[in-house]
Amino acid sequence: MPFGYLRDDGSDRLDRIEATLQRMFTDDRHAFDLAMSPLLDGTAPHSVGAELRATDHRVNEAEREIRRELVVHASVHGGIDTTAILVYMSIVKDVERIGDYAKNVFDLAVDGARMDGAEDIDDLNAVRFEVSLLIADAGEVFGARDPERAREVLQRSDQLLDDFDGRVSALVRGDDQRADAVARALLFRYLKRIVAHLMNVLSAVVVPLDRLDYFDEDPEDRS
C-alpha cells in the first residue's frame, strides 16, 4: 500500500523528519530559482553563487540529519515503522539531487550561457516558473499524503518530461538551430532530471514501496 503517516509510539520523531524534509524542498526551490536567474534574467553568476552553494549545503546537511535520525532511532530506540524508514531513505536522496541539478544549471551560466535576450524568453520563463512551482507543490503534496493531488502533479510532470524530450530532440536533429543549442540541450536535460526526482518522491504517495523510484523512467518502462 502507498506510504502514509506511520507511528506506533506517539513520539515526534517522524514530525522532526517531516519538518526537515520540508525545509529541503524549500531550499531546493530557492536553489533552483537562484540558478535560473543568471540564465534568464542576466544576473551576474558571482552575485548568486555563494548563496546557491550555501543553500545546497543546507540541503546536503538536512539529508544527513534525516538519515542519522532514522538510523539512530531504528537501531537504538526503535519505534519507527520499517516502511517509513525505507521510504524516507529512498526519497531523501531524490530531494537532495534536485539541489545538485540546480548547480548544474548554474554552471551553464558560469560557462557563459545567456538566454535573457532570446526571442523565446517568455516561453523559457514559463518553463522556469512551472518547474519552480512543481518543487513547492511536490513538497506540499507529499507532506499532506494526498494521492489525488499527487496523481495530478504526476500527470503535469509527465507532460513536462515529454516537452523537455521534444525540445532536446529538436536540437539534436537540427530542427532547432539556435546558436545556444548545446546550453539549451543541457538545460532541458537538467530540468528533466529535476522533475523526474520530484516524481520519484510523489510515487511514495500513490504506489507500494516496491515500486518506488520507477517514475523517473519513461512511462512504458515503469511497470
pLDDT, one tens digit per residue, over 130-179 is: 999 999 999 999 999 999 999 999 999 999 999 999 999 999 999 988 88
| Residue 76 resides in a domain | yes
The model carries a pTM of 0.90
Q: What is the mean pLDDT of the chain?
A: 89
| Residue 112 resides in a domain | yes
Specify the CATH number for the domain of residue 166. 1.20.58.220
Q: Residue 208's pLDDT band (boundaries 50, 70, 90)?
A: low
| Residue 4 resides in a domain | no
106: containing domain:
13-221
| Residue 193 resides in a domain | yes
| Residue 72 resides in a domain | yes
Q: Residue 10's pLDDT band (boundaries 50, 70, 90)?
A: very low
Give the number of domains in the chain.
1
| Residue 188 resides in a domain | yes
Q: Which 3-state string (H, E, C) describes the chain?
A: CCCCCCECCCCCHHHHHHHHHHHHHHHHHHHHHHHHHHHHHCCCHHHHHHHHHHHHHHHHHHHHHHHHHHHHHHHHHCCECHHHHHHHHHHHHHHHHHHHHHHHHHHHHHCCCCCCCCCCHHHHHHHHHHHHHHHHHHHHHHHHCCHHHHHHHHHHHHHHHHHHHHHHHHHHHCCCCCCCHHHHHHHHHHHHHHHHHHHHHHHHHHCCHHHCCCCCCCHHHCC
How large is the average pLDDT for residues 96-119? Answer: 97
pLDDT over threshold 80, residue 42: yes
| Residue 6 resides in a domain | no
pLDDT, one tens digit per residue, over 184-203 is: 999 999 999 999 999 999 99
CA distances from 210 to 142, 206, 207, 214 (A): 18, 12, 8, 10
| Residue 7 resides in a domain | no
